[in-house]
Amino acid sequence: MVITEFLERNARLYGADTALVELSPSEERDRAVTWREASLIESAQPDAPYRRSLSWRDFDRRANRFANLLLSRNLERGAKVGILMMNCLEWLPIYFGILKAGGVAVPLNFRYSSDEIKYCLELADVEALVFGPEFVCRMDAIAGQLPQVRMMFFTGRDKPAYAEDCGRLMGFCSSSPPPVALEESDYAAIYFSSGTTGFPKAILHNHLALLSSCETEQRHHGQTRDDVFLCIPPLYHTGAKMHWFGSLLSGSRAVLLRGVKPEWILRAVTEEKCTIVWLLVPWAQDLLDAIESGKACLDNYLLDQWRLMHIGAQPVPPSLIHRWKKIFPHHQYDTNYGLSESIGPGCVHLGVDNIHKVGAIGVPGYRWEAKIVDEQGGETPRGSIGELAVKGRGVMLCYYKNPDATNEILKDGWLYTGDMARMDEDGFIFLVDRKKDVVISGGENLYPVQIEDFLRRYDKIKDVAVIGLPDPRLGEIAAAIIEIKDGLACTEAEIQEFCKELPRYKRPRKIIFDAVPRNPTGKIEKPALREKYIHGRLVEAQLNN
């Protein structure tokens, strides 16, 4: 079985039911939905200019039309098709159309520069590209430098001369299923790594991996036909899409929210009757800050049906979850751990019944194995720190065209994650830090995540990142880049006083007040901080000399 069969089943069984909703709120229309207005929501939704929807039948038909368009252009089985689009109603039908045509879907990060887009298209051998209006300027710069991309399809108005109108062409194509038989072993998708050590690597997955993520997500969070999933993160990333796969498997509705303002999230949950919301750490923090400060009044929203909040993509501060449970005590909560190399979230997860283990990333997910290993690959004793390795049907096939990098992290079927972790006596795994982020100061290993979790307990701190800075005596020292909550003032002396609860060797030796950059999936961009505070200061010192 392959994942496209679930879409076809849903179109057959639930054809007229809504599959996807796109919400594009604007500041002018942003408002809280009060109790008195709630009775008007149902009738007002179809006419709201910021809301579009798609039924399961039309979803499947659009996917078929795009598949048949590709086949009409002699797309061969296994050919790579890029997607460069913001979250929108067209995104998933195009993705499934590529799969139905026997192609390999290649989603691209919407933050990529022109050079990065060109690099990824060349690395993945992309033959066709679908892109949206937000990317015209970036594509203008490289359109004449992509000889291997023989088809460019545009999904908006004011089409550039070098691209074709995707919507118009699809209108001439059949909405019947394409005559392509798919196998679980067929190549299905290429995702790109975060590129934290230079340009990203291309991660190749087959249809079995997509099917695995679908089953894992639904097993973990128990989606039924009655659930409504609010999807906010970018669909190019495995996290958002693989969480949506639970909705695909259960035939339930999903809402794509284009925006992350706390008021928009609460409004979407209210208007669309969302039951499951997946958040990134910054968005959860912003939402709690808005509620606690009074900027968002919960009495203005209808949230009783919201049953599950889950977080992933980066270490989750336990203090954040304790704050969340104070405001939303009835919510189920889950932490999801994964990598694009393991087809996204779920290879390790906390589980909704294990709130007493907040702070852990959890136990091996459905049909996954996990172990903590030392430098020689042997399993470490319980409680000892080592590298987390996982094994399951969702492990990547390889880094495309990069056998050396593949062999570094794939060993006897195990994926070596590069994350340092420990396992407690109950089998729960606690993430310690990224292997490359460990700070070695005076011979002691300092794990930035532990220091960050401690600092986030200080009520003036909005976000924090700890990195190592060069030191002539200790080799490295821990530096804390601290972002203070809006409207508050804080001094270095306050932070140092608070840090006296830490063992002396773990206390940050340098405090820097600055914004903490995060990528679209919520991960702290520590390479950018190192570039700024190590390389940047070295260059400055050289210039001053």
- Residue 205 to residue 217: CA distance in whole angstroms: 17
Type of residue found at 513:
F
The pLDDT tens digits of the residues spanning 69-110 come to 999 999 999 999 999 999 999 999 999 999 999 999 999 998
The pLDDT tens digits of the residues spanning 382-404 come to 999 899 999 999 999 999 999 99
Tokens of 138: 């970036």
- Residue 229 to residue 299: CA distance in whole angstroms: 22
Bridge-based pairing state of the strands 429-434 and 439-441: unpaired
- Residue 540 to residue 72: CA distance in whole angstroms: 57
Q: Find, among 370, 352, 265, 362, the residue nearest to 316 by Cα.
A: 362
Percent with pLDDT over 90 in the chain: 70
- Residue 369 to residue 225: CA distance in whole angstroms: 29
Task: Yes or no: say if 89 and 52 are a contact pair by the CB < 8 Å rule.
Answer: yes
The pLDDT tens digits of the residues spanning 504-522 come to 888 999 999 999 988 766 7
How many Cα atoms sit within 13 Å of 488 on the Cβ side? 16
Ranges 124-128, 236-240, 299-303, 423-427: which has the least confidence:
236-240
Average of pLDDT values for 322-329? 94
Task: Yes or no: say if 277 and 303 are a contact pair by the CB < 8 Å rule.
Answer: no
Position 544 pLDDT exceeds 80: no
Tokens of 543: 């210039």
- Residue 398 to residue 415: CA distance in whole angstroms: 10
Count Cβ atoms below 10 Å from residue 168 Cβ, excluding itself.
Answer: 10
Position 62 pLDDT exceeds 90: yes
Compute the chain's Rg from CA coordinates.
Answer: 24
Structural domains of the chain sorted by starting position, each given as residue range(s) with its CATH number in brackets: 4-340 (3.40.50.12780), 366-434 (2.30.38.10), 438-544 (3.30.300.30)
What CA dihedral angle connects 177, 181, 184 and 190, to 10 degrees? Answer: -70
Average of pLDDT values for 126-132? 98
Task: Yes or no: say if 81 and 107 are a contact pair by the CB < 8 Å rule.
Answer: no
- Residue 428 to residue 422: CA distance in whole angstroms: 8
In the DSSP assignment, the letter for residue 427 is S
Average of pLDDT values for 479-503? 92
Place of tokens 């004449």: 144
Task: Yes or no: say if 380 and 374 are a contact pair by the CB < 8 Å rule.
Answer: yes
Tell me the whole-structure pTM to 2 decimals.
0.82
Task: Yes or no: say if 397 and 389 are a contact pair by the CB < 8 Å rule.
Answer: no
The pLDDT tens digits of the residues spanning 172-195 come to 999 999 999 999 999 999 999 865
Place of tokens 């051998």: 125
3-state secondary structure of 534: helix
Task: Yes or no: say if 213 and 245 are a contact pair by the CB < 8 Å rule.
Answer: yes
**CA-to-CA separations, 264 to 122, 148, 253, 293, 530, in angstroms, rounded:** 38, 41, 18, 17, 34
The pLDDT tens digits of the residues spanning 523-541 come to 788 888 888 888 655 444 4
- Residue 468 to residue 225: CA distance in whole angstroms: 48
- Residue 67 to residue 94: CA distance in whole angstroms: 8
The pLDDT tens digits of the residues spanning 226-274 come to 999 999 989 998 888 899 999 999 999 999 999 999 999 999 999 999 9
In the DSSP assignment, the letter for residue 436 is G
Type of residue found at 265:
I
Task: Yes or no: say if 398 and 406 are a contact pair by the CB < 8 Å rule.
Answer: yes
- Residue 436 to residue 451: CA distance in whole angstroms: 16
- Residue 176 to residue 95: CA distance in whole angstroms: 17
